[in-house]
Amino acid sequence: MSCANNPAIANFVEYLQIPSVQPNINYDACVAFLKKQAASLNLAVTVHEIVPKKPIVVLTWTGTDPTLPSILLNSHMDVVPVFEKSWTHPPFSAHIDKDGKIFARGSQDMKCVGIQYLEAIRKLRAANVQLKRTLHVTFVPDEEIGGHDGMMKFVHTAEFKALKVGFALDEGIASPEEEFILFYGERSIWQIHVHCTGKTGHGSLIHLNTAGEKLRYIIDKFMDLREQQKRILESDPKLTTGDVTTINMTQIYGGVQSNVVPEKLSVVFDMRLAITVNHEEFENMIKQWCREAGDGVTYDFEQKNDKVDSTKLDAGNPYWIAFKAAADELKIKLDCRIFPAATDSRYVRQVGIPALGFSPMNFTPVLLHDHNEYLKADVFLKGIDIYVKLLTAVANL
């Protein structure tokens, strides 16, 4: 059977061809597709709209002992924008080339995982397997813009609590090497705007107490810390980006005219705080920098994540023990890390549920959010078999 005629590949291609691209997504086509999948699998399906036009689709396979905490299998329906001229094939064509590469936005991030969950369930049901724990397969909106109208709100609803989730799986990332990357925690996103005010006047004079002088001081402090973290990362080959605090200056704005000293200048930093950082101490350091820069320097946060405990990878977490045992049986190597960016797992962990980020894609270049995003058909199909084993292990705990 050619990969184009494989039913699992056909479902993947159909899902990829739905252009659920940010911003202003109409999710109707995704919901219709998932309802069709639920019917083909004889699974219950529920659609929740906590925010209008932001559906959360839940497919449920009830276990033999539904009193046990359930397993949540999460993925997001939305994908990031594309620059179509930079693509070899149209980004929503799901074109399959002679090497079996499936080109589409969302092929890695993360429509692959959503379909792999469903196809793993299809294989288990076809083999008349019954699992102890209930599986809830969730397809959520807006993860690519922070999940504020999706998983962030959903975890606090009565509908979510009724799922009785004990453990969750969510997205990971491709690995160019043999090992599969697994994420057990995430850094905290802090996006800060620092505002510097000062004396205005003609651009030909040397004024005292200007916004520009204060802005320079603030930028130096943040960028010096960035350099320090960069050196720490470079000093130890065992460290990954998720192990340090990253700081990037992303915007500078203010001023009215080239020959007028502005009364206000602002700078924006995107920071991802390492899990070892004490949040209160870190913010106190920023307050001190603002005082040192001079009067009239203030800040506000565009986003400020609370500290969320990572999922334990030890004997105290039976789900991890089951997951790891299944991975060992499959002879797949796991590279366990802190996720460098952010996923919906942070909201799940925030309500006390252990969660792991895992996308079974090895020997695959990391192309999420990139031009010509693709996933090879054989890697996709192998991932289904990996999930068959992993889901069986954690659901039969």
Calculate the alpha carbon distances from 136 to 50, 147, 228, 384 in Å: 18, 19, 43, 17
Calculate the alpha carbon distances from 110 to 116, 326, 382 in Å: 10, 23, 16
Is residue 63 within 8 Å of residue 135, measured between CB atoms?
yes
Residue 2's pLDDT band (cuts 50, 70, 90): low
Q: Which residues in 279-291 are b (16+ Cβ under 10 Å) and which e?
A: eeebeeebeebbe
Segments making up each domain of the chain, as ranges: 3-186+310-395, 188-274+276-304
What pLDDT is recorded for position 5?
83
Q: Cα 162 to chain center, whole Å?
A: 24
In DSSP terms, 137 is beta-bridged to 59, 73
Please write the tens of the pLDDT for every residue from 328-372: 999 999 999 999 989 999 999 999 999 999 999 999 999 999 999
Please write the tens of the pLDDT for every residue from 215-234: 999 999 999 999 999 999 99
Is residue 12 within 8 Å of residue 384, measured between CB atoms?
no
Is residue 351 within 8 Å of residue 159, measured between CB atoms?
no
**Which range among 4-8, 162-166, 295-299 shows the weakest confidence by mean pLDDT?**
4-8
Indicate if 143 belongs to the active site.
yes
Q: State the burial class of residue 59 (Cβ atoms within 10 Å of its Cβ: 0-12, 13-18, 19+).
A: buried
**DSSP assignment letter at 205:** S
Structure tokens at 198: 């000062």
Please write the tens of the pLDDT for every residue from 39-91: 999 999 999 999 999 999 999 999 999 999 999 999 999 999 999 999 999 99
Active-site residue identified among 78, 119, 243, 373? 78
Please write the tens of the pLDDT for every residue from 82-139: 999 999 999 999 999 999 999 999 999 999 999 999 999 999 999 999 999 999 999 9
Give counts: helices (H), strands (E), the chain.
10, 17
What pLDDT is recorded for position 238?
95
**Residues 6+ positions from 220 with CB-CB distance below 8 Å:** none
pLDDT for 1 beyond 60: no
End-to-end distance of the chain based on CA atoms, in angstroms? 36
Question: What residue type is assigned to position 54 of the chain?
Answer: K
- Rg, Å, the chain Cα set: 24
The hierarchical CATH code for the domain 3-186+310-395 is: 3.40.630.10
Calculate the alpha carbon distances from 274 to 213, 243, 288 in Å: 30, 6, 20
Structure tokens at 91: 């980004």
Closest CA to 138 of 125, 124, 155: 155
What pLDDT is recorded for position 224?
98
Please write the tens of the pLDDT for every residue from 320-339: 999 999 999 999 999 999 99
Asked if the 188-274+276-304 domain carries CATH number 3.40.640.10, the reply is no
Active-site residue identified among 109, 119, 142, 143? 143
pLDDT for 4 beyond 70: no
What pLDDT is recorded for position 145?
96
Q: How many CA atoms lie within 13 A of 57 on its CB side?
A: 24
In DSSP terms, 61 is beta-bridged to 135
Calculate the alpha carbon distances from 150 to 52, 225, 380 in Å: 11, 34, 26
> Token pair 């520009």 is at which residue?
212
Question: What's the length of the chain?
Answer: 397
